[in-house]
Amino acid sequence: MSRILITGSADGLGQMAATLLVKDGHQVVLHARNQRRGDEAMAAVPGAEAVVTGDLSIIAETIKVAEQVNKLGDFDAVIHNAAVGYQEGRRIATVDGLPHVFAINSLSPYILTCLINKPARLVYLSSGLHRDGDPSLQDLEWNNRRWNGFSAYADSKLHNVILAFYAARLWPDVYSNALEPGWVATKMGGPGAPDSLDEAPKTQVWLAVSDEPGALVSSKYFYHKKLRTVHPAASDPAVQDRFIAECERLSGVKFSA
């Protein structure tokens, strides 16, 4: 059996994936934004091993989440599930002065990937909207352009794929992949989302623990366990290097081989 960390697992797809994994006999560590949410997460997923807490919109707290994880020991897989939807109308700044969407969706998985003891498998949740993301990586902070919530979210989902493929390139001994769960009726997806909620958590679980040949791959992008086309920029080493350099600049955390 495997030991898996799932970020953003107090509700939604993260909680659903955790429930599936625990039912299959795996050890699962949850993550929630604060202790109250952590207690709720543990109650919602009976059999979960533990919960780590921290607000992933804040760089210092994200670093502390990684420290909590490492104190628990090594993991076989990390599912980077935590994310927020987009906000139209205005740029919401974090305490670090970054756009809320970028801080949680893009920068926090970078920091955690850098600082958590390297697992055997990395799984990043993206979205089909990543294909609308901007591969130029200009002005990630949205300081010099008019805010567009949809574009900021699409950019962040492209960043997830870039990060997954960079980790696969830098760490050939790790299976690192990304996926889109579909537009489903979670709190973030909304009640009118058309895709299957039942199917939505299954691919990340499969990539985290399955020994099927289809799951033992790296630098791939999936939808419902099937390979799906990806924005070509995500596979471009120059784009990957530029994104990693920007994340290091903004977080002060270095990605080491």
Please report, as a single letter, which amino acid is at residue 207: L
Q: What is the pLDDT of residues 85-101, one digit of tens each?
A: 877 778 999 999 999 99
From CA 154, how far away is CA 124, in angstroms rounded? Answer: 15
> Is the pLDDT assigned to residue 134 strictly greater than 50?
yes
Adjacent-strand bridge partners of 16: none
Is residue 199 pLDDT above 90, yes or no? no
**Any domain includes 150:** yes
Q: Is residue 224 part of a domain?
A: yes
**pLDDT at position 19, please?**
98
For residue 64, being part of any structural domain is answered with yes
Please give the tally of structural domains in the chain: 1
Q: Is the pLDDT of residue 116 over 70?
A: yes
* 29 in Cβ contact with 51 (< 8 Å): yes
Question: Residue 227 pLDDT more than 80?
Answer: yes
Pair type for strands 50-53 and 27-32:
parallel
**Residue keyed to tokens 């799906």:** 228
Question: Is 257 a domain residue?
Answer: no
- Whether the predicted pLDDT of 184 surpasses 60: no
Q: What are phi and psi of 28, to 5 degrees?
A: -130, 130
pTM of structure:
0.95
Mean pLDDT, the chain, whole residue set: 94
Residues with Cβ within 8 Å of residue 113, at least 6 apart in sequence = 78, 80, 122, 163, 167, 255
Is 202 a known active-site residue? no
> Does the pLDDT value for residue 57 go beyond 80?
yes
Residue 185 reports pLDDT greater than 50? no
The answer to whether the CB of 4 falls within 8 A of the CB of 21 is: yes
To the query of whether residue 153 is one of the catalytic residues in this protein, the response is yes
CA distance 239 to 72: 34
The DSSP annotation for 71-130 comes to HT---SEEEE-------SSSPPB-TTSSBHHIIIIIIHHHHHHHHSPP-SEEEEE--GGG
Is 146 a domain residue? yes
Asked, for residue 98, whether it belongs to a domain, the answer is yes
We report the CATH number of the domain holding residue 189 as 3.40.50.720
Containing structural domain, residue 31: 3-251
User: Is the per-residue pLDDT at 11 higher than 60?
Assistant: yes
Q: What is the pLDDT of residue 188?
A: 58
Tell me the percentage of the chain whose pLDDT exceeds 90: 90
pLDDT at position 195: 63
The secondary element (H helix, E strand) that includes residue 29 is: strand 27-32
> Dihedrals φ, ψ of 51, to 5°?
-135, 140
Q: Read off the pLDDT of each residue in 236-253 and give the average, rounded to a whole number.
A: 98
Of 157, 166, 220, 221, which residue is the catalytic one?
Answer: 157
153, 166, 175, 221: the catalytic one is 153
- pLDDT at residue 240 greater than cutoff 70: yes
Residue 196 domain-assigned (yes or no): yes
256 in any annotated domain:
no
